[in-house]
Amino acid sequence: MASIGQVIFWSMIVLIFIVGGLLILILSIAFTRSQSSFVETHDPFPVGNIGEDIVLDCKFQPSTADVKRLDQVTITWEKDGLSGVVYRYQNRAAQLRDQNPQFRGRTRLFTDSIAAGNASLLLWNVGIRDAGMYRCSVSAPSGRGSISLTLRVAAYSSPSFTRKENLLTAEAQRWYPKPDVTWKDHNGDTLNGSASFFNNSAGILRVVTTLEEPVRVDDTYTCLIQNHLVVSVSQATIKA
């Protein structure tokens, strides 16, 4: 039978192992969290307007060592499902030998602000095939990490209004995917309206919608054009 002293001794040994294990677990969690938070984005689901430029947001937490040793900072942008890279920055310069042809001449980083932690990518002339998941990876003296964001692509524009007698028409030149159209009065009540859609060669829709109720002078009417990605809210006030 073990003595009280032996019981206390082995109890202390077990307790030391338990405390040590907890410390290792806590440090491991803290390290994992610090690594995952080293790189972050404030816009994980950006929407690009077809034919326009967009910035894919990616930031990291620089240290004094990063500022002094930018030659050791590597930033890599990749897109799921595509070979090669979207963009790579290494040794203080773009390294684009293995860049995917889809992105040639259409991407750049903000090199003047990399020392401040800016790893964001500027993508020119967004097209439908640019939609998808992108990954921004950063390796620096102070740490490394990566984040993913999903670029969604749409075409959208605000309508222009025309009035002919008591009918009000709104026309928007660029929409994709196909939107829904709703008219409302100044109280927010839904009004009757019709909409026509005209495809161009790129598959972008021109939207023409007419309010099918007589308009009244000094009243304000709202035209909502929206799909699952974008909402456009425009108002017209009728003048005599």
What's the pLDDT tens digit per position in 46-63? Answer: 999 999 999 999 999 887
Claim to verify: residue 52 and residue 144 sit in the same structural domain:
yes
Any domain includes 4: no
Are residue 72 and residue 172 in the same domain, yes or no?
no
Q: Kindly state whether residues 47 and 125 are assigned to the same domain.
A: yes
Residue 79 has pLDDT above 80, yes or no: yes
**Whole-angstrom Cα distance, residue 50 to residue 204?**
9
Give the separation between CA 74 and CA 206, rounded to whole angstroms. 43
* pLDDT value, residue 143: 87
Considering just the CA atoms, what is the radius of gyration of the chain in Å?
28
What CATH number has the domain bearing residue 87?
Answer: 2.60.40.10
Q: Nearest-CA neighbor of 236 among 192, 197, 184, 189?
A: 184
Does 175 share its domain with 72?
no
The domain boundary, picked from 107, 129, 154, lies at 154
66 lies in the same domain as 84: yes
Whether 222 is covered by a domain: the verdict is: yes
Q: Is there a domain that residue 8 lies in?
A: no
Sign of torsion, CA 56 115 42 38? Answer: positive
Q: Which of 154, 189, 211 is the last residue in one of the domains? A: 154
- Residue after which a domain boundary falls, among 108, 135, 154: 154
Tell whether 113 and 218 lie within a shared domain.
no
DSSP β-bridge partners for residue 182: 224
- Is residue 2 assigned to a domain? no
**CA angle, 109 as apex, 107 and 111 as ends, to 5°?**
145
- Residue 43 and residue 94 share a domain: yes
Range of the domain at 229: 160-237
Both 60 and 149 in one domain: the answer is yes
**pLDDT above 90 covers what percent of the chain?**
72
Phi, psi of 11 (to 5 degrees): -65, -40
Please list, residue by residue across 2-39, b when 16 or more beta carbons sit within 10 angstroms of its beta carbon and e when fewer do: eeeeeeeeeeeeeeeeeeeeeeeeeeeeeeeeeeeebb
Structural domain count, the chain: 2
Same domain membership, residue 172 and residue 117:
no
Q: Are residues 174 and 233 in the same domain?
A: yes
Over range 76-81, report the average pLDDT: 97
Identify the residue whose tokens are 């829709």.
205
**Which of 22-26, 36-40, 154-158, 201-205 comes out lowest in average pLDDT?**
22-26
Rounded Cα distance between 74 and 93, Å, is: 9
Does 18 reside within a domain? no
134 and 187 part of one domain: no
Average pLDDT, the chain: 86
Task: Specify if 125 maps to a domain.
Answer: yes
43 and 150, same domain (yes or no): yes
Q: Looking at the domain assignment, is residue 9 inside a domain?
A: no
Query: pLDDT tens digits for 7-19?
Result: 343 444 444 444 3
The answer to whether residue 1 sits within a structural domain is: no
